[in-house]
Amino acid sequence: MKTYLVTGGAGFIGANFIHYMLNRYDSIKIINVDKLTYAGNLENVKEFEGNPDYHFVQADICDKSLEDVFNKYDIDYVVNFAAESHVDRSIEDPEIFVKTNVLGTLNLLNLAKKSWSVGDDLYKEGRKFLHVSTDEVYGSLGDTGFFEESTPIDPHSPYSSSKASSDLMVKAYFDTYKLPVNITRCSNNYGPYQFPEKLIPLIINNCLKGKDLPLYGDGLNIRDWLYVEDHCKAIDMVINKGNPGEVYNVGGHNERTNIDIMKTIIHYLQTHVDANISEKLITYVTDRKGHDRRYGINPEKIKRELGWVPDTNFEDGIVKTIEWYLTSQDWIKNIEDGSYQQQTYVNVQE
């Protein structure tokens, strides 16, 4: 039985990963370590409460006493999702991004290294440290081309800079100590349990409440969207089959402008929920500082080497996502009854 230490498993992608793994494999154990920041929500993994193969530990990944978790469980794989993940928040307050994303990752690397060590640069068989990173570390693309694994790192926001820094630290632990690591760099995810500060859930939620839909800048920035379950599938494959020390880009060639995303959601809700939901809700607001123009992933390496292919196309994925939010209004309400307040915007429309 393999034991996974999943950090950030009460957040969006981490929770989806726990669902993906525990619903797919009978003989695995998952230890979910999460600090439960504003973005962490135990509702996301509620169905596993009481499951003998699932344990939750509330802890900060920066905390050195996490060594107790490594001592208590014989950890085979560390899957590091825990992070401050929202670009707009990083622009307002970068410090916590450095603390969690860089120092937290460094702490986990040290704990894994110590726990798995059986001699100088030698580790127990079959261990892996999988660091979940992002395509944002590559910076921004022009109209053509894609991010390759060989694309130089060129982050722009405090968020992406902190992720790039943590990636470099993970690489250093492979290059220096031969710790068996992989890094995945995925494009924008969407799907169930995504915190409603991010574009897709924010738009769904605001449409349902008849609120303005804030569109940054000219609305023509491009993101490459992947259904979250396909990201989870990729991570599972990289843990099991990825060559130690390698980076794998993950994406499904699904580039859309932000305005196109908004219109897709509006039209679905207009047709299926309320005819009054219309494009009139779209409100141009001041642009995000340093706003990356275009992301686009070349996923050929993970396809060729590991046989990964995405299963869900955007047309199906966005409907599944919207339907999930429609049936999860209590989930949103609990978040809004807590401390979450939507950020304010400067309207730039005449």
Query: What is d(CA 49, CA 63) in angstroms, rounded to the nearest whole number?
Result: 24
| Known active-site residue 93 | no
Residue that has been written with the tokens 């609305």 in this structure: 219
109-148: which residues touch ligand NAD (CB under 6 A)? 132, 134
Shortest reach from residue 128's CB to ligand T46, in Å: 21
Residue from the set 4, 12, 129, 227 that interacts with ligand NAD by CB under 6 A? 12
Total number of residues binding ligand T46 (CB under 6 A)? 18
Q: Contact region for ligand NAD (CB under 6 A) — 21-29, 78-86, 111-119, 270-278?
A: 78-86
Residue from the set 34, 224, 230, 236 that interacts with ligand NAD by CB under 6 A? 34
Amino acid at 145: G
Question: CA-based diameter of the chain, in Å?
Answer: 67
Strand, helix or coil for residue 309: coil
For 144-203, the DSSP string reads S--B-TTSPP---SHHHHHHHHHHHHHHHHHHHH---EEEEEE-EEESTT--TTSHHHHH
Q: What are phi and psi of 272, to 5 degrees?
A: -105, -15
| Known active-site residue 74 | no
Q: Contact region for ligand NAD (CB under 6 A) — 55-63, 261-269, 288-296, 339-347?
A: 55-63
| Known active-site residue 159 | yes
Residue from the set 54, 146, 147, 195 that interacts with ligand NAD by CB under 6 A? 195
79-98: which residues touch ligand T46 (CB under 6 A)? 85-87
Residue from the set 215, 226, 237, 306 that interacts with ligand T46 by CB under 6 A? 215
For residues 76 and 230, which CB has a smaller minimum distance to ligand T46 in the complex?
Answer: 230
Among candidate residues 34, 135, 167, 236, the one labeled active-site is 135
Tokens of 245: 């020390």
Query: What is d(CA 284, CA 282) in angstroms, rounded to the nearest whole number?
Result: 7
Q: What is the CA radius of gyration of the chain?
A: 20
Among candidate residues 34, 84, 136, 255, the one labeled active-site is 136
Q: Is there binding between residue 199 and ligand T46 (CB under 6 A)? A: yes
For residue 145, the tally of other CB atoms under 10 A from its CB is: 11
- The residue among 216, 219, 260 whose CA lies nearest residue 88 is 216
Tokens of 127: 């261990």
240-299: which residues touch ligand T46 (CB under 6 A)? 258, 288
Distance of CA 122 to the CA centre of its chain: 31
Which residue ranges make up the site for ligand NAD (CB under 6 A)? 7-8, 10-14, 34-37, 39-40, 60-62, 81-85, 100, 104, 132, 134, 163, 186, 188-189, 195
Name the residues annotated as catalytic: 135-136, 159
